[in-house]
Amino acid sequence: MFDGKSILITGGTGSFGKMYIATLLARYKPARIVVYSRDELKQYEMAQRFNAPQMRYFIGDVRDLRRLTQAMRGVDIVIHAAALKHVPLAEYNPMECIKTNVEGAQNVVTASLENEVHYIIALSTDKAANPVNLYGATKLCSDKLFIAANNVAGGHRTRFAVVRYGNVLGSRGSVVPFFAKLIEEGATELPVTDVTMTRFWITLQQGVDFVLKNFRRMQGGELFVPKIPSMRILDLVSAMGDYLKYRLVGIRPGEKVHEVMCPADDSHLTLEFDDHFVIRPSIRFVDKDVDFRVNRLGERGMDVRRGFSYSSDTNPNFLTVGQLRELNESVLGLRASTARLPVEA
């Protein structure tokens, strides 16, 4: 469905955008790929790597509806990846986060409808489920805007869906490159916020593949959640180096000990498929009667039990220390540190 299509990605110079575009160019023959972002240096650098004739680079901010509407002219498919994502910084700069993550999301909806874009998927986060921080709250608002947009589309062909997943290995702000930098600088212990902390874990390529497949699955109104493994923070420390220790630094502003992707309060809306979950809309679309139990690929889902929660600490699938090491090496080229701690005199 991507051959011959015009595709726009907001925040396209980020980690996800680069992998998404590399995958599109390798697997498909899109007519045009539009990178929409506000950082001219990142666009310049990206254009040196991605210089295929299909590539277009638009300087613009999702806060700017007029520019966004202009950039979407003739576009068939949109992936909305632009967001302010840093949890503590959002706590200190709440309105800036709201302007980008909420008002920007509404601008994407409005511009998509104005230009008769066919399919839009917005990237979300596990932090939007039962949010305790401003970043998560703004992404929950964004999720609701995109789902409800299907109800106001009216006669438009435009359909909206959301993809929610957990921490991305090696993405901007990820803990693994941060740990690796500390080790490179000679650190023999790594900062840990809580010894019981768990997180969902996914690679960039897995995230991109999941999004691409959901464009083929979506009917409009779904919130897609992949079945992915969890990891324990102390296992990650061990995976970074056999002889590394840790020091407790405490929970950061707005941080959770465990993350949730399918809250128990949404269990009556949640469907389980072979490799993913779908959270159905809580509202009924006035002009659509969609059976979300069967998607456009013919895959069938079943209702989960009432009270079901998909949480990083109760996830049946946990990565081992060895698997974390393999991922660090295969995805990021990082080998576990073998430097022993200095012997005290």
The answer to whether residue 323 scores a pLDDT higher than 50 is yes
Query: Parallel, antiparallel, or unpaired for β 198-203 and 230-232?
Result: antiparallel
In a domain, 345, yes or no: no
In a domain, 301, yes or no: yes
The answer to whether residue 99 scores a pLDDT higher than 80 is yes
> At 88, which CATH number?
3.40.50.720
Tens of pLDDT, residue by residue over 142-151, are: 999 999 999 9
Q: Is the model more confident about 61 or about 177?
A: 61
Cβ atoms of 223 and 164 within 8 Å: the answer is yes
What pLDDT shows up at residue 298?
A: 97
Task: pLDDT band for 341, please (50, 70, 90 cuts).
Answer: very low
Q: Is the model more confident about 312 or about 187?
A: 312
Q: Phi/psi of residue 138, each to 5°?
A: -70, -35
In a domain, 228, yes or no: yes
State mean pLDDT over 241-263: 91
Q: Which two tokens stand for residue 146?
A: 């995109």
In a domain, 152, yes or no: yes
State mean pLDDT over 51-58: 96
What pLDDT shows up at residue 252?
A: 84
Structurally, how many domains does the chain consist of?
A: 1
Percent of the chain with pLDDT over 90: 82
Q: Is the model more confident about 229 or about 169?
A: 229
In a domain, 341, yes or no: no
List the catalytic residue out of 5, 18, 127, 139: 127
Number of neighbours of residue 30 by Cβ within 10 angstroms: 21
The answer to whether residue 2 scores a pLDDT higher than 50 is yes
What residues pair up with 262 in beta bridges, in sequence order? 310
In a domain, 343, yes or no: no
Task: pLDDT band for 247, please (50, 70, 90 cuts).
Answer: very high
Number of neighbours of residue 280 by Cβ within 10 angstroms: 20
CA triplet 37, 227, 91: central angle to 5 degrees? Answer: 45
Q: Can you give the residue range of the structural domain that contains 249?
A: 6-332
The answer to whether residue 178 scores a pLDDT higher than 80 is yes
What end-to-end distance do the CA atoms of the chain give, in Å?
Answer: 66
In a domain, 297, yes or no: yes
In a domain, 262, yes or no: yes
Asked if 181 is an active-site residue, the reply is no
Percent of the chain with pLDDT over 70: 96
